[in-house]
Structure 1
Amino acid sequence: MTIDSAHWQTRLAELTKKHGVPGAQLGILRVGRDGAEDEQVTLATGVLHLGTGQPATTDSVWQIGSISKVWTATVVMQLVDEGRLALDTPVKEIIGDLDLRDPEVTEKVTIHHLLTHTSGIDGDVFTDTGRGDDVLEKYVARLGEAAQNHPLGATWSYCNSGYVLLGRVIEVVTGQTWDQAMRERLFTPLGLTHTGTLPEEAMLHALAMGHLGTGDEIAPAPVWGLPRSCGPAGLITATAADVLAFARMHLSDGVAKDGTRVLSAESVAAMADFQVDCPEKDLLGDSWGLGWFRCDWHGARAIGHDGNTIGQAAFLRLLPEAGIAVSLNTNVASAIALYQDLFEEIFAELADVRLPDRFEIPDDAPEVDITPFLGEYSRESVLEEVLVLDGKPVMRTTVSGPVAELEGASEPEVHELVPVAEAIFAVKPDKSAAYFPVRFYTLPTGERYLHFGARATPKKA
């Protein structure tokens, strides 16, 4: 079945309107097999900025957020291919003055720990170290201020700071800035014309503005982007077409469309292969590779990544067995409902594959005693309090620090914890139309954690 561009343009417009998303850009790719030509469509709908009304087009650029991590991981794997480092190389062998809060982690944390989010370094550190080419060096110099949230390799917790550290590894090994390395090692060989890492590069094109709020209260975000120091974790801007060119390389054993070898087939496979389990398997995937998360779609194995910045949300999924990739860029803080509706239709029609069942409250929700889970759980800039209010278990979330200041999240959010299974609850955040899982668990060594929003938050009281 060919990709029906008109049909998907209609569905993109209908679903974007249904879910209150100001603007969106969609790309669908099916790689040609046995000499056949690729099929690809790119579409857009809505506006880039509610304040200006500028239309979204297929040439507009959007922040792809944490999808950038897979690009950073790809360059790291190029360095592995070149023999310049290995997955088990201690980071301190590359960054000699590395000084983390935990001395043992400083000595033992490896490239693999960082790629798989298992270092335990507090992940939500968004220190602004300026605009110069030394931003990553300065960021890493201050990383010793960040807490160690879990023992090295003991569990999985999403870690932005670990990917900034990987960006600094790239800089030290290549002698280039992360931005330069991305351009020379990925953007240029892939033939990307609308992809960049800096605001001044994005400004060469029509660019999307993020939006916060929901419904009638949705409005442009107060700032456009995060500090340059966060680059390797999430500052790439691109079109859906350029994202699909990157995805195509991963679907083609590391070879670009023009035949250029970008990454070895072995490294492509390693990035998609199982590396670590995820403590909860509903939010993103059931396990993690090297950069990619891994999803079980009713027996079909998909890989992907999501990206969220200040009022923008992006989604990328690859189904290697079918040679299909789909990229969705949006300019709203939460677009998960749009993603679910749209991607379910696309993959069902093009590959006869069903996405995982949505995380919902079961009709026969069990009774679960909240008592063992009551208390305070905290990490850098986030306090999660589990308590009982008016006879109902709730989670009160207080966010502080740079991102809270940028998004204006000054007041705590309080949400009921609805039982789903033993030690698993559901909450619906203020800015979301979907339920999110909250899982409580204990490490073999006795430490207790709350896992929410892909983060492991340790119990402190």
Structure 2
Amino acid sequence: MTRPPGIDDLSAFGPPEKPSSALLVDVPYWQRRLSELAKRHHVPGAVLGIARGTRIDVIAYGVLNQATGMTATSDSLFQIGSITKVWTATLAMQLVDEGALDLDAPIADVLPALRLADLQAAEQVTMRHLLAHTSGIDGDVFTDTGRGDDCVERFVGQLDEAAQNHLPGATFSYCNAGFVLAGRVIEQLTGVSWDHALRERLCVPLGLEHTVTLPEEALRFRTAIGHDSTGDQPPRPVPVWGLPRSQGPAGLITATAADVLAFTRLHLSGGRAPDGARLLSPSAAQAMTEQQVELPDTQTLGDSWGLGWIRFGWDGHRLIGHDGATLGQAAFLRILPEHDLAVTLLTNGGAAKDLYRDLFGEVFAELAGVSMPEPPRPPAEPVTVDARQHLGRYERAGTRIDIFDRTSGLWLRHTTTGPLAHLVPAPVQETVLVPVSDSQFVVQYPDSPSWIPVTFYTLPTGESFVHHGMRATPKVS
């Protein structure tokens, strides 16, 4: 892998670069910027959290629910979506520390009854594959297996119905189902549900009193609901608040910004709780930040993946973090260890990613002198390519992508299928593919000004994929 100059593997556990007097954040200024930018991007409600050292500042804007007018406050809870995966990875690494789990041993050693669509994959897949999204299991399976404590176990019992899109380790493809499987391993080794393990092993020792996993727990607090919109219509509350409970280990934490940042402190401190208790070894915390796999597309999120963490190269500096998206909610977390700086943004609708780009670009430039990379965009001069080999249909669980020719050029049709199809405002979207090279393109969907990469590639074994939205979707016709 080629890294930006000056970026080394993280040594995240040293003292802050700046003295404590420099840790103060101009809260009124960032309140104005959050309000201005959230209005520009039609985000109903948002909370920005900034942690420098042990100091945490939280700023709120807007409403938690357009229908009720409930205002967002610094102690409001939002769904953090897939940021949950870092918490699940942390639980797994605790078990590695305890000698109960080997990252490179087959999962079948812990779950001998494991069945996958591919028998070879079932025998080979490891926890490292799961935490780095290289298992090849079709990742967007959202089977509702009920509300009981056995829902994760029941979900994993049906994983043989999910396609095996590639063999373990062959490529990267973002995989929610793999993290549910990781959650089941945690349950098997701890003897309790994933929710209980999270609470007892992380939330209680870290003092996270506003972090929950179940909707009945969220009701105890001031909690956001997601919003969506179609065309020029204003954001409106989504008809369903959350995903099925079986998705817990992949993305069902609901929390305040302060609790999210308190969790990051565990990693920045080398694995210690606020009272000094060791919850994670320094070597385990460090291992989570180290590169496991380079990404086929290095522009959508980071340039590589660790164990749970996404790795970002910004302006010659190494950051870690994660994003999360649920039904009408989006969350963002970025950590710059060398400055002891962590920033999170929790939102409930609108063009949240565009708000993130504008706001985090300003925050990291102002507080750390670090510039965010420019977003992908079409080349300045049109590029002529022969893209006929990319024509056809690509499909995986929840998504069908058709690449076809029109007189105006190559087009992409993205169709959401399965259980989520009726929960998204526009299940079918079409957009022109703008070429960057023979294998690299960018697209722009109607609901956002952002350009999104589309990458075509073929594995050494001959299988063809399109990489879009961090997923590797295999060509089927």
TM-score interval, smaller chain: over 0.9
Alignment of 1:152-167 (within 5 A): 152-167=168-183
The match for 1:400 among 407, 417, 432 is 417
- Partner of residue 97, structure 1: 113
Contact 1:383 1:397 in 2 (8 A): yes
Which secondary structure does the structure 1 equivalent of 2:82 belong to?
Answer: helix
The match for 1:208 among 210, 214, 224 is 224
What's the CA shift string for 1:112-147, capped at 9, x where partnerless? Answer: 110100000000000000000100111001000000
- Partner of residue 373, structure 2: 356
Report the number of matched residues. Answer: 454
- Partner of residue 314, structure 2: 297
Contact 1:292 1:305 in 2 (8 A): yes
What's the CA shift string for 1:228-263, capped at 9, x where partnerless? Answer: 000000000000000000011111111122322121
Alignment-mate amino acid for residue 379 of structure 1: R
**Is 2:34 the counterpart of 1:18?**
no
Bigger Cα displacement from structure 2, 336-345 vs 390-399: 390-399
Give the Cα separation in 2 of the matches to 1:252 and 1:332: 33
- Partner of residue 186, structure 2: 170
Give the Cα separation in 1 of the matches to 2:235 and 2:409: 30
Contact 1:308 1:333 in 2 (8 A): no
- Partner of residue 383, structure 2: 366
Contact 1:167 1:232 in 2 (8 A): yes
- Partner of residue 35, structure 1: none
Pairwise CA distance, 1:333: 6.0
- Partner of residue 65, structure 2: 49
- Partner of residue 29, structure 1: 51
Give the Cα separation in 2 of the matches to 1:422 and 1:295: 25
Change (3 A) 1:262 1:365: farther
Alignment of 1:67-106 (within 5 A): 67-106=83-122
The match for 2:363 among 329, 332, 346 is 346
The match for 1:423 among 433, 436, 439 is 439
Alignment-mate amino acid for residue 22 of structure 1: P
Alignment-mate amino acid for residue 359 of structure 1: P
Alignment-mate amino acid for residue 206 of structure 1: R
Pairwise CA distance, 1:8: 0.7
What's the CA shift string for 1:121-175, capped at 9, x where partnerless? Answer: 0000000000001001110010000001112210000000000000100000000
Pairwise CA distance, 1:334: 4.3
Contact 2:229 2:425 in 1 (8 A): no
- Partner of residue 284, structure 1: 301
What's the CA shift string for 1:77-128, capped at 9, x where partnerless? Answer: 0000000011112111111110101000111101111010000000000000
**Is 2:471 the counterpart of 1:455?**
yes
Bigger Cα displacement from structure 2, 431-440 vs 263-272: 431-440
Give the Cα separation in 2 of the matches to 1:374 and 1:81: 48
Which secondary structure does the structure 2 equivalent of 1:208 belong to?
Answer: coil
Give the Cα separation in 2 of the matches to 1:10 and 1:191: 30
Contact 1:310 1:333 in 2 (8 A): no
The match for 2:454 among 414, 418, 438 is 438
Give the Cα separation in 1 of the matches to 2:211 and 2:449: 30
Contact 1:66 1:306 in 2 (8 A): yes
Pairwise CA distance, 1:325: 0.2
Contact 1:314 1:329 in 2 (8 A): yes
Give the Cα separation in 2 of the matches to 1:3 and 1:39: 9
Bigger Cα displacement from structure 2, 450-459 vs 349-358: 349-358
- Partner of residue 247, structure 1: 264
Pairwise CA distance, 1:408: 4.8
What's the CA shift string for 1:259-293, capped at 9, x where partnerless? Answer: 22121100110000111111110011100000001
Alignment-mate amino acid for residue 347 of structure 1: F
Alignment of 1:116-265 (within 5 A): 116-213=132-229, 215-265=232-282
What's the CA shift string for 1:404-442, capped at 9, x where partnerless? Answer: 1222544x2111001123311111123333111000011
Calculate the TM-score normalised by the size of structure 2.
Answer: 0.93
Pairwise CA distance, 1:362: 2.2
Give the Cα separation in 1 of the matches to 2:305 and 2:410: 31
Which secondary structure does the structure 2 equivalent of 1:311 belong to?
Answer: coil
Which secondary structure does the structure 2 equivalent of 1:205 belong to?
Answer: coil
Give the Cα separation in 1 of the matches to 2:405 and 2:165: 25
Pairwise CA distance, 1:391: 3.0
Identity of aligned pairs, percent? 56
Which secondary structure does the structure 2 equivalent of 1:388 belong to?
Answer: strand
Give the Cα separation in 1 of the matches to 2:155 and 2:448: 32
Give the Cα separation in 1 of the matches to 2:43 and 2:437: 32
The alignment's C-alpha RMSD in Å is 1.1
Give the Cα separation in 1 of the matches to 2:236 and 2:409: 33
- Partner of residue 3, structure 1: 25
Give the Cα separation in 2 of the matches to 1:220 and 1:103: 43
- Partner of residue 8, structure 2: none
- Partner of residue 34, structure 1: none
Contact 2:320 2:334 in 1 (8 A): yes
Give the Cα separation in 2 of the matches to 1:337 and 1:358: 10
Point out which structure has higher relative CO (alpha carbons under 8 A, 6+ apart). Answer: 2
Give the Cα separation in 2 of the matches to 1:327 and 1:391: 41
The gaps in structure 1 that reach 5 residues or longer are 32-37
Alignment-mate amino acid for residue 175 of structure 1: G
What's the CA shift string for 1:46-87, capped at 9, x where partnerless? Answer: 000011111000111000000000000000000000000111
The ranges of structure 1 where at least 4 consecutive aligned residues each deviate by more than 4 angstroms after the TM superposition are none
- Partner of residue 376, structure 1: 393
- Partner of residue 3, structure 2: none
Which secondary structure does the structure 2 equivalent of 1:188 belong to?
Answer: helix
Give the Cα separation in 2 of the matches to 1:232 and 1:397: 27
**Is 2:309 the counterpart of 1:309?**
no
- Partner of residue 15, structure 2: none
Give the Cα separation in 2 of the matches to 1:295 and 1:243: 19
